[in-house]
């Protein structure tokens, strides 16, 4: 009978994904939901005691959560089971809640059992590293300014570092989102929240030159995306753009792991060190909660602690007072 329930839930998953697509969710989002929810279907096939939708109780879902925590890695099949991080647990829980909320609204179940599950407590992790100001300067200097691809990469790095926008916000930019005469960019962030971001003079100059000299050499077709692939002339992928930026960083002698979020963290930290207040940084980054922005004050405290250890007389090898 578990096969029957699993087949039923699998059908519901597909209906839910269709509803997500109808409501305009990105392909990346609905594919992630589908992948994770089908893990629930696979687990149900192994639970002979779960026979009907009424058996999908909070207790059953808690057992499923425990299964996720103790399973072997799907990517590294021969690794030892590892405890799932709080962030991953909460992501799965959010997906379950959305799915069961849809089922209840569609009249397929009477109540939403996922509402009885508790969120895991997450600790705000500090960014592993940020770029120093000299490293940013070296990276910008290493990017060639005489090729269309170089002009694209320069504009992208200037915008990432100058405004702190996210990877998705950057790659989804279209020409109509640019208000260059005002040095502003319109972006759509998490939860489809929109905001207007100032970009600064350096990013403005790099963008203006890329759009005038670089993009026309790269683009094929009539798409309106800002960033264009040097291979096919369509919208650039995050993989292609990041690979190019990493190559520039390698030539600049930067050893740190380069990712899109590294520029976001560097932007916020440098703004804070320069005297910007947290509310302004929160608005710039598009954080819905100030606590997400406050993580950068912890970076400052950790830097301050290192400075004290290095510079304060009482942290040096001085004799204790008698």
Q: What residues act catalytically? A: 166, 190, 261, 264, 287, 296
Q: Rounded to an integer, what distance in angstroms lies between the CA atom of residue 319 and that of residue 322?
A: 9
**CA nearest 42: which of 81, 73, 13?**
13
Cα end-to-end distance, the chain, whole Å: 80
Q: Rounded to an integer, what distance in angstroms lies between the CA atom of residue 289 and that of residue 136?
A: 28
**CA nearest 67: which of 48, 46, 90, 49?**
46
- Exposure letters 226-249 (e unless 16+ CB within 10 A, then b): bbbbbeeeebbeeebbbebbeebb
**CA nearest 160: which of 220, 248, 232?**
248
Q: Which residues pair with 186 in a beta bridge?
A: 196
């Amino acid at each position: 009978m578990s096969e029957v329930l699993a087949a039923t839930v699998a059908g519901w998953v597909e209906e839910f994904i269709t509803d997500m697509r109808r409501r305009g969710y990105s392909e990346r989002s609905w594919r992630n939901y589908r992948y994770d929810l089908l893990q629930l279907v696979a687990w149900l096939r192994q639970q002979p005691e779960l026979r009907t939708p009424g058996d999908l109780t909070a207790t059953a879902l808690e057992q499923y959560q425990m299964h996720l925590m103790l399973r072997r890695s799907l990517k590294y099949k021969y690794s030892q089971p590892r405890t799932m991080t709080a962030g991953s647990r909460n992501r799965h829980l959010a997906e379950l809640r959305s799915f069961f909320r849809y089922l209840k609204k569609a009249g397929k179940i009477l109540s939403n059992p996922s509402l009885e599950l508790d969120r895991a407590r997450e600790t705000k992790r500090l960014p592993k590293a940020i770029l120093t100001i000299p490293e940013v300067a070296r990276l910008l200097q290493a990017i060639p300014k005489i090729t269309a691809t170089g002009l694209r990469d320069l504009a992208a790095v200037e915008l990432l570092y100058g405004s702190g926008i996210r990877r998705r916000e950057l790659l989804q930019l279209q020409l109509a989102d640019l208000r260059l005469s005002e040095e502003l960019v319109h972006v759509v962030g998490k939860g489809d929240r929109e905001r207007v971001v100032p970009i600064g003079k350096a990013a403005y100059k790099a963008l203006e030159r890329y759009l005038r000299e670089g993009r026309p050499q790269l683009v094929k077709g009539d798409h309106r995306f800002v960033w264009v692939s040097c291979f096919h002339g369509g919208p650039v992928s995050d993989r292609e753009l990041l690979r190019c930026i990493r190559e520039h960083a390698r030539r600049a002698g930067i050893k740190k792991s380069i990712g899109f979020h590294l520029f976001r963290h560097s932007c916020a930290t440098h703004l804070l060190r320069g005297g910007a207040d947290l509310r302004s940084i929160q608005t710039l980054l598009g954080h819905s909660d100030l606590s997400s922005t406050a993580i950068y004050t912890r970076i400052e405290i950790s830097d301050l602690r290192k400075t004290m250890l290095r510079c304060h007389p009482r942290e040096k090898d001085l004799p204790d007072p008698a």
